[in-house]
Amino acid sequence: MTEFFLCLSPGPSALLVISLGLTRGQAAGVLATIGVLAANGIYFALSATGLAAAQHVSSEAFLVIKWLGAAYLIWLGFRMIVRSFQTRGEQVISPDPVSKRRSFWQGFVTQGANPNLLIYFTAILPQFIDPRARLGSQVAVLAFSSFAIEFTVLSAYSALSHRAGRKVAPRFRYLVERVGGGFLIGAGAGLATLRRQ
């Protein structure tokens, strides 16, 4: 239940998936979702091997992760908005195949650069682990449960945003591009305002 409600909150990864689903299609949103899960997988692996000493990451490292992630999302959003002005005169704006190939990495980088994950894996996750039992098997169960829930929620976001994008395309496609870009810029701004707990 904790994982489900955390996934529902529109964090940077959810906003990225919504934006890609809206502007590039459902497949791009699902690929970004897989990228998000791949980044989560790395964090789960670190937790299972006891390397989640990420709790002790220095303030400087936290700031670097935060600002790199925020800058990346804002750059993606700005680029999307600029593209909407360049293609406004066209009747139909077809999804860019290159951006679909990059969707996985956009999801991966966005999730990996989210310093909120450090809080999740060092403050929330340990509450569901019994220190007297085997760590690896517990983390594996939590990881697969998390993957299933997050994939379902983010894929639903992608499908719904894709349908919304199709309803207004192609006539208002340039507006869709700008809304999607605004979502990404908002996600980047949200990352920039995070403070270390």
Show me where the domains of the chain are located: 2-192
pTM (whole model) above 0.75? no
Q: Give yes or no for residue 11 having a pLDDT over 50.
A: yes
Q: What is the dihedral of CA 52, 55, 61, 63, to 10 degrees?
A: 130
The answer for residues whose C-beta is within 8 angstroms of residue 101's C-beta and 6 or more apart is: none
Q: What is the Cα–Cα distance from 148 to 7, expressed in whole angstroms?
A: 11
The answer for residues whose C-beta is within 8 angstroms of residue 121's C-beta and 6 or more apart is: 43, 44, 46, 47, 52, 54
Residues 130-149 have pLDDT tens digits of: 878 887 788 888 889 989 99
CB 40 within 8 A of CB 150: yes
Alpha carbons within 13 A on the beta-carbon side of 122: 14
